[in-house]
Amino acid sequence: MTAAATVPFKGSRRASGYWRIARHFAARELGERFLGSLSGAAWALLAPVLQLLVLLLVFGIILKVRLPDADPRAFLPFLVAGLWPWVAFSEALMRGMAAIVERAALISKVAMPRSALVLAPVLASFALHGAGFVAVVCVIRALGYPIDLAGHAWARPYWVLLAGFAFGLALALATIRVFVPDAAHVVPQLVSLWFYLTP
């Protein structure tokens, strides 16, 4: 057996193998979560919509929050533009943090990069909620709300940067959770607090 055969990944093969593993587990996660259950797929898209309606009711209708020097109807697109990236980020963070612990049995049997297992739920979350974001923006644009669809081109780099930040943070938290199991209970509370501290 050659030295190259004993190394699981090497050079460009290592990079392509890494992404192949991440994509495989991302597709598998989407399949496990949504293909087996119609209600699960619907809820993944419906939950952010319900959260959006609650925020719109509290801030837009009851508290009558308005954006300075903007169309009064601009508050709904403003909420959508902030809420969907946050939902993708927080879900990616929570699922990525749990990835190594949940796949512990597989890790003990197969040699693979652990970070690819963390990247998979991040990719799945951003793909799912990215599609939901585009769908909701198109719907509220069709309802006559002031949205410039050309702005989506500017949003893509930020979406990628946010996914990268979520991956890095999830990787750190996944490592911590291996040694500190209580992190699974503490981090969701901190993320909820983070949501309300975010402008």
CA distance 89 to 136: 17
- Record the tokens describing residue 137, joined without a space: 């923006």
pLDDT of residue 39: 62
Q: What is the pLDDT along the chain (199 residues), one digit of tens a residue?
A: 344 444 444 556 667 778 888 888 888 888 777 665 556 667 777 888 888 899 989 888 888 888 887 777 788 888 888 899 999 999 999 999 999 998 888 887 877 788 899 999 999 999 988 888 888 888 888 888 877 777 777 888 999 999 999 999 999 999 999 999 999 999 999 999 999 888 6
Q: pTM of the predicted model, to two decimals?
A: 0.82
